[in-house]
A and B are shown apart, each in its own frame.
Chain A
Amino acid sequence: MLTDATTVTADDKIRCDACPVMCYIKPGAAGACDRYANHNGELVRVDPHIVLERTVSHGGRLVPFQATGDWDGKIVHESSVFVTAIGAGTTYPDYKPAPFIVSSEIDGIDMVTVVTEGIFSYCGVKVKIDTDRYLGPETATVRAQGEAIGHVTTSEYGSQMLSLGGVHHLTGGSKKEGRVTCDALMDLSNCKPVELTIDGGATVVVRAGYPPIVNGVDEERMRVGCGSATIGMFAKQWHGKVDEVVVVDDHITGVLSEHQAGKLLDIPDTGIKMKGRRSTPGRYFQVAEPGTGWGGTKISDPLSVLGPFDPKKARPGTTMLMVSTTGEHAAYYELDEALKPVEKEMPADLKFSVERIQENCEPALCTVLFMGGAGGSLRAGVTDNPVRLTRSVKDALTRVTSGGAPVYVWPGGGITFMVDVTRLPAGAFGYVPTPALVAPIEFTLKLSDYAALGGHMDHVRPLASLKDNTEFRQTPSLQPAPGRRA
């Protein structure tokens, strides 16, 4: 919203009237104070401490300038404005060193937000890549620009997991390893794409909030379940429309006629012979090597997972659907007189079932959780007695946020937290050449609790009278109380 005194020149420069410096600000740039920016011809106040140049250039969220009334010169103007730590401490360009303490009234409770930017050398990111495709063996080294920056860790349902960064790669290796690790962590945390190569595995482009690109191919969906689970889910829909279904999966390949789900539907034997190791009826391990083909295996011809049909049981004309766990690959066959499967045009109702599998697959995403530990000095900036802050966090009296985003605080000692990087404003993470990451962290607590922590009550500003009431209001997105849930 423009103020009367703000003028826009012919080439979209804005004359900012927030202070007597009266900067001309170009679109996408900030004034001398770094607090006001020209966003598409509008003068906007950046969320108080966000460093705006980066925010604008990364399409970050900006707070409209002077939404209501005259600005009174205070940092916290509207109660709904949450002051984030981004830029409060030290991000590029080296903003003011000191943390700020701000009090604002939210829902009738006087809140204190101590905003600071922490430097985290004990930090890293956990990356969840929704894909069936084989990215590499567990514990394999993950590299960026040829440098080791982390490893493949235990996979989750439908997703491959990477653990990147950490103090060992940041400071324990060569200078270049530390710098590359730091760059990769910062880019991943700032939702930028990073190309990773896995020793003995794939090259994958990871970008928080976007599908992974595995060996140059965009992943679209994560699987609905393993091959066996897919049989269980769709057996009824296939019943009567096709004689046999094979759901090809790197983990457990399912076979309808042998599977418990097929048995319950009285689906007769088809004489099919699977390669791989039978786990339980209709469920096969290791039908093929892992890879980036069908269902996370390396095959491109699904028939290669089959042996010859049993001539005693099989009959010519038997119909068979082969499909991957995501429905991305599918083919329809009929057995000829020699009991060899011959690919045919897929009937419409089977196409429909393949689409149904696809529909039940969620879009494949890369998600990145930043994880760091808030150390001693950072806490000391908040209170004279740092351990009390830790205890206060544990007792859920103090809410920890990172750039305004909710975090999960890991139970146990210290303040080790995780945050979904897509929930922070753009460009929230910085670095120092130590190398270490700079991440925003805010501690919000009731004034009364702040007093109990040893906070300096008479110096918190602006201090409305303390309302002697109730609980700190928990918003739905808040973390659960640490340590209280299994």
Chain B
Amino acid sequence: MTRTPQIGFLSDGRRLHLQDGPIDLIVEACGGEKDVQAAYQAAARRFTGLLDELCGELKLLRRAADPRQNRLQGRVARRMHDAVAPFAADCFITPMAAVAGAVAEEILGAMLRGAELKRAYVNNGGDIALHLADGEHFVVGLAERPDASGLMRTMIVDADDPVRGVATSGRHGRSFSLGIADAVTVLARTASQADAAATIIANAVDLPGHPAIIRCPAKELQPDSDLGSRLVTRDVGELSAREIDDALESGAACARKLLAAGLIDGAALRLRGEMVIVAARAIEMPGLQAPLRGRALESAMHV
């Protein structure tokens, strides 16, 4: 099969767009011209064949992760497993829950091996791996749905923060969710960890047994879904303000546990326009501020 990834620049000529099968990456590197070029070349090189590599172990990746041992071979696959392993003892989770973040991390890693960059990010459909040299920062925009004109909140991720991964999960995404969150955005040390944790927290934003929530076995929607016959959320009807609070609190309780365990650095949970922030006092979701309307979005990213 002559399948080649799609590699090109976006309209701004600055950001690289990489797409292969279900993987879709937006990449940006800042630094010297030569370094940026080298980084993009490294990204494109590493990206080519990456999907095939993952698919080679797809069967195992779709099985519940074994909390005690990592039997996967590929670097990305192993990283996926490592990211979900802390959750595997307590609930059903497969390495697929961290695939987007793990891929983003891998591409960013390849870029940094080949170049000296001031800042860089690899955005894999909202799961983002960050690089920040000393003194640099990123402004991360939280959108209810990703769009430049609709940013709700912005967060500043500083080089001094431990955060190098941002991920969002929720029922509107391409992956299925067991919960009802519109979006849960997580800050963590790595993109794969953020990805896995966002999945777990989004699943916890839920109102079990609520009649207005329509659920359906995952395999009825996607026969080979790693979630098998588990019920995934298809639609959420009217919820009272109280119910919205309850569902968010259930997710926030989960997020606080992960925060205490050092698995995440912060989380923003959103449901029906309401938002709950869980973060260590020291971080306070740094720079959480009013909408960024009208400002240059140069360093803003969609989450």
Contact = CB atoms under 8 A, between A and B. Distances in A.
Question: Do the two shown chains form a genuine complex with each other?
Answer: yes
Interface of A: 5, 13, 17-26, 29, 31-34, 70, 72-75, 89-90, 92-101, 114, 117-119, 175, 375, 377-378, 380-384, 430, 432-434, 436, 438, 455-456, 458-461
A24 B224 contact: yes
A32 B22 contact: yes
A23 B224 contact: yes
A26 B147 contact: no
Nearest to A375: B149
Contact of B147 (A90, A456, A461): A90
Given A13-B223, A73-B5, A378-B149, A97 B26 contact: yes
Interface stretch (B51-59, B84-92, B109-117, B245-253): B51-59
A31 B22 contact: yes
A180 B6 CA distance: 40
- Chief secondary structure at chain A's binding surface: loop
Contact of B20 (A19, A22, A98, A119): A19
Contacts of B9: 101, 456, 459-461
Nearest to A14: B223
Nearest to B52: A20
Contacts of B149: 118-119, 375, 377-378
B32 interface: no
Contacts of A26: 220-223
Contact of B55 (A21, A93, A459, A460): A21
Interface in B33-76: 51-52, 55, 58
A384 B125 CA distance: 24
Q: Which 3 A-B pairs have the closest CB atoms?
A: A456-B13, A19-B21, A97-B302
Contacts of B2: 70, 72-73
Contacts of B257: none
Specify which of A24, A32, A117, A382 lies most central, judged by the most chain B CB atoms within 10 Å of its CB. A32
Interface in B71-111: none
B15 interface: yes
7 contacts: A24-B223, A26-B220, A34-B22, A72-B4, A94-B172, A100-B11, A380-B297
Interface residues of B, number: 49
A21 B145 contact: no
B13 A98 contact: no
B126 interface: yes
A43 B72 CA distance: 32
Contact of B51 (A21, A381, A433): A21
B10 A19 contact: no
A400 to B, nearest CB: 16
Interface in B152-175: 170, 172-174
A70 B24 CA distance: 22
Contacts, number: 150
Interface in B171-185: 172-174, 182
A94 B297 contact: no
A375 B149 CA distance: 9
A90 B21 contact: no
Nearest to B221: A29
Contacts of B58: 21
B11 A101 contact: yes
B12 A20 contact: no
A29 B222 contact: yes
B259 interface: no
Contacts of B220: 26
B172 A98 contact: no
B281 interface: no
B3 interface: yes
Contacts of A381: 11-12, 148
Contacts of A75: 6, 19
A434 B150 contact: yes
A90 B143 CA distance: 10
B146 interface: yes
A32 B4 contact: no
A382 B11 contact: yes
A430 B144 CA distance: 13
A23 B4 CA distance: 18
A17 B3 CA distance: 10
Given A17-B1, A26-B223, A32-B22, A461 B8 contact: yes
Contacts of A101: 9-11
B273 interface: yes
